[in-house]
Structure 1
Amino acid sequence: MTAFGTTVEELATDVVLPAGDGPFPAVLIRTPYDRTRHRAEALGWARRGFAAVAQDVRGRFASPGEWHPYANEATDGAAAVRWIRRQPWSDGRLVAAGASYAAHCALVLALDAPGDARPDAVLAAVPALGPAETAREASGVERLLSRAGWWAAHGDRPDSDESALDKALAADPGLLTHLPLTGLPERLGRSLPSWAGLWRHRERGHLIARAAHSAVPLLAVGGHHDHFTEDTIALWHTWGGPSARLLLGPWGHGLGSTPGPDARPVHRVNLGELYVRWARRALTGGLAPGRHGVQALGGADLWLPAGTNGEPRLRRPRLLHGAAFTADPERPVRSDVLAVPAAGPPDRCLLVTPPLPRPLDVVGPVSVHLRATAHTPSADWAARLVALTPEGVAERLAVGIVRREERAGREAPFAVGLGRLARRLRAGTRLRLEIAGHHFPAHARNPHTGDDPVTAVTLHPSRREIDPDSLVLSLPVLPSRPTPVDPAEEILR
C-alpha cells in the first residue's frame, strides 16, 4: 500500500494506493474540511482495492486560490477526474464520494461535468445541495443558527475553526439577537464578505432538477435528524440514473456518530464496509435497476423499505391555551428549549393529545392544517411536535415553519409541513403540538414589517389568533406491524 502527496491542477491532493500492481478503480473525495482528516477513510478504501484520492478544494487548507463556496467545484473536480484517469494506477473507473459539502462536490461532477470527466457512480451522504438549500427552508425561512455556525467556522478563510460560533456565543450570549444580521461578521471580529451574499440565494432545486437526467448509480445516505433530510430523499427520488439507493437512519448530520434518542442497537451500521460493497457492485453493473433502499424505524429494532409510508390519520389535539397569543420577536419561542412557560401571557398556541392507547408506527410526512390570523403583513408560523413519554420526558419529533405575507387581520387556511417521521411511539405517549411565530435561533426572527429578516433593524410584535376547531394534525400511521428488511440486502440488491 502506497501513500503520497501531489498536486492536481495545483490543488493539494493525497493518494493512497492498494498493495499490488493495479490498475485500480478510484474513489475521489473533494473537501473543504481538510483532506488529511480523510486519511483513515482513504486507507480503508485502499485495503479493499480502491485507489483513494482526497483533495482540498480551491482556497482551502493546502490548496491555493480563493475560497468561494459552491462556485468552482464542477470545473476543479473535472480536472481531478481527468488527472486520475491518466494515471498508470487507474483503470478508468471512478466513484465520486463525500458528505455534506463534499457530497455537493461529488454530485456536480455527475451532473455538470463534461462526459469524459464524469464519475461512474456517486456516493452522497447528507448532501448540501447548494447555497439556497442550505440557507433556507423550502418555505424561504432563513436557517440562522446552522448557517452562522458554518460561516463562522469555514467562511472566507483557508482553514477552519469549528468552535468559532460557540466561543463567540460564550462571550456574547445575545450574539444572534443583534440587528441587522448582516452585521454578524463585525460581531465575530473578522472579515466575512460572503456572509451577506449568502442570503441573496433564494432559488432552490437546481441540482434536483438536473438529477433527473443523471446517468450513473447513486447511493444517498442521510439521517432523520439531519437538517438536509428532505433534500436527501428528494435527490434519491428524482435520480434518473440506472439505479438509486437510499440509506436513512435515526442519525444527525454526523450520521452514525450522532445518533438520535430513538436509535437502537440494530441501527449501528458499518457504513464504510457498506460503501465499499455498494461501490464494487455499482462499478461492475451488479445493482438491480430502479430505486431501492431502507429507512430506520426509530424507537424499534428494525429497518423498513425506503418507500414505506403510513396512511394519513387525522387527529384533533385538545387546546390547552393560546388560541390568541402574541409572537414577540424580542422574546421569541426558542428552538433549543422544549420547556413551555407556565406563567405570563401566552407566546404560542399549545395543544396536546390523550395518551396513546397502543404503540403507533408513524412513517412518512407529518403536517398541520389550520385557520389562523396574523395582525401584521408578514408572519412566520412554526409548528413543533413533541413526544411526552410516559416517564414525563419531552422529545422533539418534528418541526416545520412557513412564511405568509397577506393582508393584516385576514383569517386564512394553510398547512405547515413538519417533514418526515419514522418513529415508533410507545403506548402512553402524548403528543404536544406548539404553534408559534418564531423558532429562534434555529431560524431568523421575522420582524413582522415585511422587511427582509436578514437586513431588518426594527422588530414588531405580531398578534395571532388560531381557530382551534380548524386545527388538524395529520400523522402517517402504518396500519399493521411492519415486516423488517436487512439494510445491506436492500442497498446491494
Structure 2
Amino acid sequence: MNTRTVYVPTPDGTALATDVCLPDGTRALPAVLIRTPYGRVAHRAELRGWAANGFAALAQDVRGRHDSPGQWHPFRGHETADGAATVAWVRAQAWSNGEVVAVGASYAAYCALVTALAAPGTAPDTAPGTAPDAAGDTTRAAGPGTDSGDLHRDGVPDAVIAAVPALGLAETAREPAGPERLWARAGWWAAHGDRRDSDPDALARVLADDPRLLEHLPVMRLAARLAEGLGRELPSWPRLWSAGERGRLVALGSAARLPLLAVGGTRDPFADDTVALWRGWGGPSRLLLGPWGHRLTADPAVPARARVNLGALYVRWARAALSGRLAPTRHGVIALGDSGRWHSTQGAAITPGATPPDRPEADHRWPFDTPTGLRLLHGAEFSADPDRPVRSDDLAVPDDDGRADRCLLLSPPLPRPLDLAGAAVARINVTADTPSADWAVRLTALDPSGRADPLAFGIVRRTGPPGEAADITVPLGTLGRRLPAGTRLRAEIAGHHFPAHARNPHTGQDPVTATRLTPSRRTVNARGSALHLPVVARRRYVEPAPEICR
C-alpha cells in the first residue's frame, strides 16, 4: 500500500490537504473519508488499517487548519460544501468504485454528519443550522448520480460512522437544560480555537500560572484573560455563547436513509447526544456505547475481556452497510462498565407501522429518606454560594459542620449485583429563594471498600418565583454499569458544579454576562423525591460486533 498527499479542490477554489492511502492492486475500491481539524497526519496508522482491509482511506485537514488554506470558523465554516466536494472528487478517481463511508470522531463526526445530511443546492452549513461565512458559496460539486442504491446523490456518502459526535455550537456550549459547559469549552478553545494548529495542553499551562482564571466574570470576557496567557486572541469565543438553537442535526437525521453507526462512551460528556442521534436517525442505525470517555479509550487497568477492537468492528460494519446487509431497524449495545458484558438495546423498527419490542430495562425507584431507598445524611436545607461552589473535580464530601453546601444521601449496600443499562433520572421536590437556580445531581458508586467511582451526573436550570416549591426532573444520562453486591449509592444535590459548569449568579442575569454573584438558600423535600435507575430486568448479553452488524 502507499500513502500520498494531494490537494482536493473545493467550489471556491480552495484546495484542501488530503492524505490518500491505497491498497496494492488496480481494482476499484470503496473509500473511507475522515475530515478533521485535529491534524490528518495523526490518522496515518488508521488509514493503513483501512487500506489493509481493502478500502481506499483518506484523511483531510479541514479548511483553515494545519496544511489546508483558508479561514477556520468552528461549526460555521464550509464543512458542508467542502465535504460534498471531497466526496465527489473521491468518486471521480480511477481507484474508486463509487462507495464512500464518512467517518469521524468529535468535531470530525460533525464534519461527517453535515456531509451526510446535506441537501442539493444547500449553502455551506446552513442545513445543519449554522450560518455560512461571508464568503459562503452555494455551488455544489458535481457527482456521479442522484439516487440511492447503485447511484449516489451528489457529494453525499453512502454510510456514516459518527463517534462521540459534537453536534454543534449550541450542543457543545450548554447542557440541554441550559447550564454552560465552562471547563470543556475553555479547554477546547484554548487548544484549537482561532489558530491553525493545536495545543492540547494550553489551558493546563495557563491555569498553572493563573489558577483562578475560570472564576473570571463575566464569562463572555474570559477570552481576554485567557488570551494574556496564550499570547493570542480568541475572537470567536463570544459567538460560542450566542449559539441558541440545538437539535438541528438530530432533526435532519430523521429524514436520512443511509446507515449510521453512532459510537460513544458512557463516560463521555456527549453521550446523550450520541444516543439522541441514534434514536432519531431515519435509516438503519446502530449504537455502540462502551465504558469510555471522549477519547474512546479504556483505562489501562481494564481487563482484556472488556476491550473492543474498534478498528476491526468499524471495517465489519462498513462492509455490511455498503452491501445492504443491515436490517432496517434501530438497535445497538451498551457495555455494562468494565465487566466485559454487553447489553442489547433496541429502538423502534424503522418499518412504518412497526412497534418497538418490550423494553428489557425496568425503571427502579429509589425514594429519598426511606430505609430501602436513599437515606438523608444532611443538607435537607443548604446554601448554594457561588463564591464557594461545589467543585466538579473533587469527589470528597465535607462533614456536616452546620454550613451544608449540598444535600447528601446514601443507600444501603446492594444485596446482590445490579446491572444498569439505559437512561437514569432524579425527580426532586425543591425550593430556592432566588429567581434562578441550577440543580446539580451527582451519583457516585462506593464499592465495599469505600472507593468512590463516578456513576451519573445531571444539571438543570430553573427560573421561577423565589420560595416556590417545584417538582424538577434532572436527567442523569445513559448508564451502562454492573454494580457488585455491597455497593452503596451516594447522591449529592447541589447548586453548582464548578469549574465543569459556569456558576449561576442567582440574580436572574445570564451567567455568561453576569458580574455579580449572590448566595441561594435551598431546600430539598424528601417526600416526592426519588432516584430512578434503569435496572436490567431481563438480561440480554450479546457480543458487540455481531449485534451491530446484523
Residue type of the alignment partner of 1:414: I
Deviations 1:108-157 (A, max 9, x none): 11111533110011011111111111111110111111111101100011
How many residues matched?
A: 489
Within a 5 Å distance, the mapping from 1:98-117 to structure 2 comes to 98-114=104-120, 115-117=153-155
**Distance across 2 between alignment mates of 1:459 and 1:344:** 22
Within a 5 Å distance, the mapping from 1:111-130 to structure 2 comes to 111-114=117-120, 115-130=153-168
Residue type of the alignment partner of 1:4: R
**Distance across 2 between alignment mates of 1:81 and 1:280:** 18
Task: Please point out which of 238, 259, 262 is paired with 1:217.
Answer: 259
Task: Please point out which of 315, 334, 341 is paired with 2:366.
Answer: 315
Residue type of the alignment partner of 2:272: E
**Distance across 1 between alignment mates of 2:419 and 2:333:** 16
Matched, 1:371 2:437: no
**307-316 or 337-346, which moves further after superposition?**
307-316
Within a 5 Å distance, the mapping from 1:341-490 to structure 2 comes to 341-342=398-399, 343-480=401-538, 482-490=539-547
The alpha carbon displacement at 1:48 in A equals: 1.1
The alpha carbon displacement at 1:258 in A equals: 3.8
Within a 5 Å distance, the mapping from 1:283-302 to structure 2 comes to 283-302=322-341
Matched, 1:197 2:208: no
- The residue that corresponds to 2:345 in the other structure is 306
Runs of 4+ in 1 over 4 A off after TM superposition: none
Matched, 1:166 2:204: yes
Is this contact kept in 2: 1:179–1:456, CA < 8 A? yes
Task: Please point out which of 66, 69, 86 is paired with 1:61.
Answer: 66
Deviations 1:161-195 (A, max 9, x none): 00010111111111101111122222222200111
Residue type of the alignment partner of 2:487: T
Is this contact kept in 2: 1:5–1:15, CA < 8 A? yes
Is this contact kept in 2: 1:294–1:490, CA < 8 A? yes
Matched, 1:77 2:89: no
Cα distance change on mapping 1:284 and 1:299 into 2, 3 Å: closer
The alpha carbon displacement at 1:285 in A equals: 1.1
**Distance across 1 between alignment mates of 2:452 and 2:100:** 46
Residue type of the alignment partner of 2:164: V
**401-410 or 265-274, which moves further after superposition?**
265-274
Within a 5 Å distance, the mapping from 1:124-163 to structure 2 comes to 124-163=162-201
Residue type of the alignment partner of 2:364: R
> How high is the TM-score relative to the length of structure 2?
0.87
> How high is the TM-score relative to the length of structure 1?
0.97
In structure 2, the gaps of 5 or more residues are 10-14, 121-152, 347-358, 368-373
- The residue that corresponds to 2:124 in the other structure is none
The alpha carbon displacement at 1:278 in A equals: 1.1
Is this contact kept in 1: 2:458–2:475, CA < 8 A? yes
In structure 1, the gaps of 5 or more residues are none
Q: Secondary structure, in 3 states, of the residue corresponding to 1:222?
A: strand
The alpha carbon displacement at 1:248 in A equals: 0.8
- The residue that corresponds to 2:218 in the other structure is 180
Is this contact kept in 2: 1:79–1:117, CA < 8 A? yes
Is this contact kept in 2: 1:439–1:445, CA < 8 A? yes
The alpha carbon displacement at 1:300 in A equals: 2.4
- The residue that corresponds to 1:277 in the other structure is 316
Residue type of the alignment partner of 2:309: N
The alpha carbon displacement at 1:412 in A equals: 1.4
- The residue that corresponds to 2:548 in the other structure is 491
Is this contact kept in 1: 2:411–2:489, CA < 8 A? yes
The alpha carbon displacement at 1:199 in A equals: 0.6
Q: Secondary structure, in 3 states, of the residue corresponding to 2:308?
A: coil
Cα distance change on mapping 1:204 and 1:7 into 2, 3 Å: same
The alpha carbon displacement at 1:469 in A equals: 2.4
The alpha carbon displacement at 1:425 in A equals: 1.2
Residue type of the alignment partner of 1:162: P
Matched, 1:37 2:46: no
- The residue that corresponds to 2:17 in the other structure is 12
Is this contact kept in 1: 2:458–2:477, CA < 8 A? yes
**467-476 or 32-41, which moves further after superposition?**
467-476
Deviations 1:395-431 (A, max 9, x none): 1100100000001111111111111212111111111
Residue type of the alignment partner of 1:223: G
**Distance across 2 between alignment mates of 1:385 and 1:265:** 27
- The residue that corresponds to 2:135 in the other structure is none
Is this contact kept in 2: 1:298–1:424, CA < 8 A? yes
**147-156 or 279-288, which moves further after superposition?**
279-288
The alpha carbon displacement at 1:372 in A equals: 1.1
Deviations 1:15-38 (A, max 9, x none): 111100122111110000011111
Cα distance change on mapping 1:334 and 1:349 into 2, 3 Å: same
Residue type of the alignment partner of 2:236: S
- The residue that corresponds to 1:254 in the other structure is 295
The alpha carbon displacement at 1:295 in A equals: 1.1
Is this contact kept in 2: 1:252–1:260, CA < 8 A? no
Residue type of the alignment partner of 2:30: P
